[in-house]
């Protein structure tokens, strides 16, 4: 990480949204493990979670370790989440929709099928 500039300007640093001049429309609500999270139209589930400071929403199958977005472009499958009850959704590709219920995915997220 680059060291922070010591002569920081008075105004806040621009966000990517400011840089491209985006006007996404009004925010809506999704939930993460029951807690309210704000999302913008067009934002992926992973982006909305990150913007709320949530970095992990899955545990690994073997060691139960936390996982969230890694590649961010749909390739690595690290960001799998359970969305509206369906496991293994790639949070980095899935657009957030009003009312989406995202829940932490434990392992394969299909414990109900185990025999």
Partner 1 sequence: MVGAACAHYAARAGLSVTVLDRGPVAGGTTGAGEGNLLVSDKEPGPELELALHSSRLWRKLAEELPAAIEYETKGGVVVADDATRLAALRSLAAAQSDAGVDAREVSGGQLRELEPHLADGMPGGVHYPEDAQVHPALAAAHLLRASGAEVRCGEEVTAVLTAADGAVRGVATASGARLLAPYVVNAAGTWSGEIARMAGVRLPVLPRRGFVLVTEPLPRVVRHKVYAADYVADVASGSAALQTSAVVEGTAAGPVLIGASRERVGFDRTLSVEVLRRLAERATALFPVLGGVRVIRAYAGFRPYLPDHLPAIGPDPRVPGLVHACGHEGAGIGLAPATGVLTAAALTGSAPPLDPRPFRPDRFPDPCAAPDRRPR
Footprint on this chain of partner 1 (rule: CB under 8 A): 61, 88, 107-108, 110-111, 113-115
Residue 84 C-beta: closest distance to partner 1, Å: 14
Q: Which is nearer to partner 1, 34 or 62 (CB)?
A: 62
Q: Which is nearer to partner 1, 72 or 107 (CB)?
A: 107
Contacts 24+ apart (CB under 8 A), 26-33: 28/96, 28/98, 28/99, 29/98, 29/99, 30/96, 30/97, 30/98, 30/99, 30/100, 30/101, 30/102, 31/100, 31/101, 31/102, 32/57, 32/102, 32/103, 33/102, 33/103, 33/104
Residue 45 C-beta: closest distance to partner 1, Å: 17
Q: Which is nearer to partner 1, 1 or 114 (CB)?
A: 114
């Amino acid at each position: 990480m680059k060291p922070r500039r010591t002569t920081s300007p008075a105004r806040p640093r621009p966000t990517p949204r400011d840089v491209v001049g985006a006007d996404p429309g009004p925010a809506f609500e999704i939930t993460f493990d029951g807690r309210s999270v704000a999302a913008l139209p067009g934002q992926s589930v992973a982006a909305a979670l990150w913007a709320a400071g949530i970095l992990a929403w899955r545990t690994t199958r073997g060691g139960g370790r936390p996982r969230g977005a890694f590649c961010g472009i749909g390739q690595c499958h690290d960001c799998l989440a359970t969305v509206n009850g369906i496991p293994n959704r790639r949070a980095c590709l899935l657009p957030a929709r009003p009312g989406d219920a995202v829940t932490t995915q434990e392992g394969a997220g299909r414990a109900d099928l185990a025999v």
